[in-house]
Amino acid sequence: MLIQRIITAVILAPLAILIVLLSPEKVFAAAAAAAFIGAGWEWTRLAGLRTTGPRLAVLAVQAALFAALWHLRSPALWSLLLVAGVMWWLLACVWLRHFAFGAAPTTENRNIKLLAGAFVIIPAWVALLRVHGDNHPHGHLWTLLALCTVWAADIGAYFSGRQFGRRKLAPQISPGKTWAGAWGALVAGMLVMLVGGWLLGVRDARLIGLAVLALLVVAVSIVGDLLESLMKRHAQVKDSGALFPGHGGLLDRFDSVFAAMPLFALGLLLLGL
């Protein structure tokens, strides 16, 4: 499984980096929307929708929202969505603490999970565009730094968890995750954020702010990972999909990014970067 994960990452990572660095804003928005709609398709299955028609209808609404937000491109609305995204992940922490909530396969629980999917996906897409946009200094590089921070946290968690993991982080939700893995994720993510910020010209007190932001971003990325694990446990499946060998589906790859991006984008706004 580790070999499969490495091979898939070696193939996908350069493609993702090229899209982030070389795409104009319109192309990047379309590519991100397509990937997020694919993740939304997987979310509908985890939420409890089984038939194709209703699942496609949910995706049509999601696509329409993306199109409307792109057409409007209102800074005030986008900032509001960033705040809503951050607040949602605080609420998700409460859900993880009461992990049995929504487990029963009822219509009400299915609708709650579908609504939760909107708060997971829509603010993350807005955050990506807000950071990547041409009006943001070095937006392409800041977007790459956000992704690299999440990727580094994932790698740090994997290897530190394997080497030192004893105490489970959330055994009822994801038995494989450990506190050692979480600490490894925090250290790796913060180091990448600090190096990236320095290379992007942040040499003043805001570098300390970036270090704090990195810790918060990595922490919420872990929440995103755990929330998807909870959804899979409720749905009684191992992976959200089988698109990537060794990695699962799109949602398995984006769960941490969905959680991290709104906070990262809002943090940059607050730091004036």
Q: What are phi and psi of 225, to 5 degrees?
A: -65, -45
Tell me if residue 246 falls in helix, strand or coil.
coil
Quote the CA–CA distance of 27 and 111 in Å, as a whole number: 32
Q: Which amino acid is at 256?
A: S
Q: Find all residues with CB under 8 Å of 234, minimum gap 6, and list them.
A: 46, 102, 103, 113
Whether residue 250 is predicted with pLDDT greater than 80 in this model: the reply is yes
57 and 227 Cβ atoms separated by less than 8 Å: no
- Positive or negative, the CA dihedral 241, 243, 247, 250 is negative
- How much is the pLDDT for 245? 61
- How much is the pLDDT for 52? 94
Which of 49-58, 129-138, 246-255 tops mean pLDDT? 49-58
Cα 22-26-31 angle, rounded to 5 deg? 75
- How much is the pLDDT for 9? 73
Confidence of residue 253 (pLDDT cuts 50, 70, 90): confident
Whether residue 246 is predicted with pLDDT greater than 60 in this model: the reply is no
Quote the CA–CA distance of 88 and 262 in Å, as a whole number: 10
247-to-6, 8, 29, 175, 181 alpha-carbon distances in Å: 9, 8, 24, 17, 18
Confidence of residue 10 (pLDDT cuts 50, 70, 90): confident
Quote the CA–CA distance of 269 and 23 in Å, as a whole number: 23
Cα 117-120-123 angle, rounded to 5 deg? 125
User: Each residue of 100-121: b (16+ CB within 10 Å) or e?
Assistant: eebeeeeeebbebbbebbbbbb
Give 97-137 pLDDT, tens digit per residue.
Answer: 999 999 999 999 999 999 999 999 999 999 999 999 865 67
Quote the CA–CA distance of 27 and 20 in Å, as a whole number: 10
Whether residue 73 is predicted with pLDDT greater than 70 in this model: the reply is yes
Give 180-204 pLDDT, tens digit per residue.
Answer: 999 999 999 999 999 999 999 999 9
- How much is the pLDDT for 165? 83
Whether residue 153 is predicted with pLDDT greater than 70 in this model: the reply is yes
**pLDDT averaged over the chain?**
92
Whether residue 5 is predicted with pLDDT greater than 80 in this model: the reply is no
**Percent of the chain clearing pLDDT 70 (strictly above):** 96
Whether residue 1 is predicted with pLDDT greater than 90 in this model: the reply is no
Structure tokens at 95: 């859900």
Gyration radius (Cα) of the chain, Å: 18
